[in-house]
Chains A and B, each alone.
Chain A
Amino acid sequence: MSLTEQQKTALIARLTALADDEIILSHRDSEWTGHAPILEEDIALANIAQDEIGHALMYLGLRSELDGSEPNQLTFFRGAREYTNTQLVELPKGDWAFTMLRQYLYDAYEALWLDAARASSYAPLAEVAQKAVREEKFHLQHTALWVERLGLGTPESHRRMQDALNVLWGYTTQLFVPTAGEETLIAAGITPDPAAVKTRWESLVRPHLERSGLSIPQGEGVTVSRQHHSEDLLYLLTEMQSTAREYAGAKVW
């Protein structure tokens, strides 16, 4: 299919939002490299982060086909005002329970979004979704086990998991806030309706969290646009982009 200008602009916004979540979350995950509780988990989280970077590259590759932008340029030379990730993924890494729960809530969202995007009327996106969804299910299986293990483990592990849920739950709302002009994409079957993804997401994670002995907080949650960030993102970007900015134009790092 060929996209209208309006659809193209909206799709660029959605693809960038998807990529930005992946880039920022994988950076937070990478902060555990060399510091995770045990070696196997260090490796697992590094694997997950690597997959997410792979997905970000695919989304930015799709964007590049639309506007000729360059993935590395977008990643390393945009400031916090231009990043469109959710606040969920930029929060500092916290403890292990916080990290695993955030990854779980995000993985379930991403897996279900991709599952629906396999039916996209825009073939290049459908192809990427077919590919990425197969990897995402491993993340979800892994993090789901951690949610159970810590939720039903010792009083301390339960307390930490419940504390993490109390903080994170409200931030998940922002994952399902439509991006600019997204209604034109949904109407044309190009991207999934976030409201439909949210319904499936809730029916997957709510019973699982409850089975894991956790109580889901009440309340509205964060619904601000993806342009709004916490101070944490500034520090993250400063660190993540420092080498690229210091040696801008370098061919080999």
Chain B
Amino acid sequence: MTALQISPEHIWEALAGVPDPEIPVVSITDMGMVRDVQLDGKKATVTFTPTFSGCPALRVIAQSIEDAVKGLGVPEVEVRSTLTPPWTTDWINADARERLRQYGIAPPAPAGEGLITLEAEPTRCPRCGSLNVSMTASFGSTLCKRLYVCGNCKEPFEGFKSV
């Protein structure tokens, strides 16, 4: 048997092509969900971190990772999950934030290590950039989003929660 002609970089590239199942304009690597890729002989181990703990897409994501890596010809793939360090929206890269905005989803504000408060963080309209927005629902179509309407351009939009 010959050694695999691929490197961890190839695996990272393949994972960059795996879309987030709920927001397909960004990939799981854009979202900062893939933490580590190890290649040992014919076995690849990919460690990822869940975004929201109750996210129903987690199994789909784990399966997509396995499929993408097997698609490179790696016979054995293990997908692990980790909670350390915890995923926050600060892991979403700058390029993906811009794509979220163009897609009509306000990207998350910096999450930081805030205290527990009863107030929500400021959000900007993804269409006109105005801060004159109001939240119309604090939860949205998926666990990671909430609903807003812009007071300036009057458009409703979804915003990523800062977590």
Q: In the complex, are the beta carbons of A135 and B163 less than 8 A apart?
A: yes
In A109-136, which residues have CB < 8 Å from any B CB?
Answer: 111-112, 115, 127-128, 130-135
B83 within 8 A of A: yes
Decide yes or no: A138 and B54 within 8 Å by CB, A111-B116, A127-B84 being known contacts. no
Label chain A's interface by main secondary structure.
helix
Q: Which residues of B contact A160 (CB under 8 A)?
A: none
Q: In the complex, are the beta carbons of A132 and B147 less than 8 A apart?
A: no
CB distance from B160 to the nearest CB of A (A): 12
The interface bits of chain A over 183-221 (1 if a CB of B lies within 8 angstroms of the residue's CB, else 0) are 000000000000000000000100010000000000000
The interface bits of chain B over 84-113 (1 if a CB of A lies within 8 angstroms of the residue's CB, else 0) are 111110000000000000000000000100
Q: In the complex, are the beta carbons of A134 and B138 less than 8 A apart?
A: no
Nearest opposing residue in chain A for B55, CB measure: A54
The interface bits of chain B over 48-74 (1 if a CB of A lies within 8 angstroms of the residue's CB, else 0) are 001011111000000000000000000
Decide yes or no: A43 and B52 within 8 Å by CB, A112-B116, A131-B83 being known contacts. no
CB distance from A241 to the nearest CB of B (A): 20
B119 within 8 A of A: yes
Complex alpha-carbon distance, A132 and B54, angstroms: 10
Q: In the complex, are the beta carbons of B86 and A134 less than 8 A apart?
A: yes
Complex alpha-carbon distance, A40 and B136, angstroms: 9
CB distance from B103 to the nearest CB of A (A): 20
Q: Which residues of B contact A50 (CB under 8 A)?
A: 54, 56, 143
The interface bits of chain A over 139-171 (1 if a CB of B lies within 8 angstroms of the residue's CB, else 0) are 011101100000000000000000000000000
Partner of B141, one of A43, A54, A133: A43
Complex alpha-carbon distance, A44 and B59, angstroms: 22
A48 within 8 A of B: yes
Q: Which residues of A contact B1 (CB under 8 A)?
A: none
Size of the A side of the interface (Cβ < 8 Å), in residues, is 34
Q: In the complex, are the beta carbons of A48 and B84 less than 8 A apart?
A: no
Q: In the complex, are the beta carbons of B53 and A57 less than 8 A apart?
A: yes
Decide yes or no: A140 and B118 within 8 Å by CB, A127-B86, A135-B163 being known contacts. yes
Q: In the complex, are the beta carbons of B116 and A55 less than 8 A apart?
A: no
Complex alpha-carbon distance, A116 and B159, angstroms: 29
Decide yes or no: A138 and B86 within 8 Å by CB, A58-B53, A112-B116 being known contacts. no
Q: In the complex, are the beta carbons of B54 and A51 less than 8 A apart?
A: yes
CB distance from A148 to the nearest CB of B (A): 9
Q: In the complex, are the beta carbons of B139 and A142 less than 8 A apart?
A: yes
B120 within 8 A of A: yes
Nearest opposing residue in chain A for B147, CB measure: A40
Q: In the complex, are the beta carbons of A137 and B116 less than 8 A apart?
A: yes
Binding site for B on A (CB under 8 A): 40-41, 43-44, 47-48, 50-55, 57-58, 111-112, 115, 127-128, 130-135, 137-138, 140-142, 144-145, 204, 208
Q: Can you sample 6 A-B contacts with CB below 8 Å?
A: A44-B138, A50-B56, A51-B52, A57-B54, A130-B83, A130-B86
Given contacts A51-B52, A138-B163, 17 further A-B contacts (CB under 8 A): A40-B139, A47-B140, A51-B53, A53-B54, A54-B54, A57-B53, A127-B84, A127-B86, A131-B50, A131-B87, A132-B53, A133-B116, A134-B88, A137-B117, A138-B138, A140-B116, A141-B120
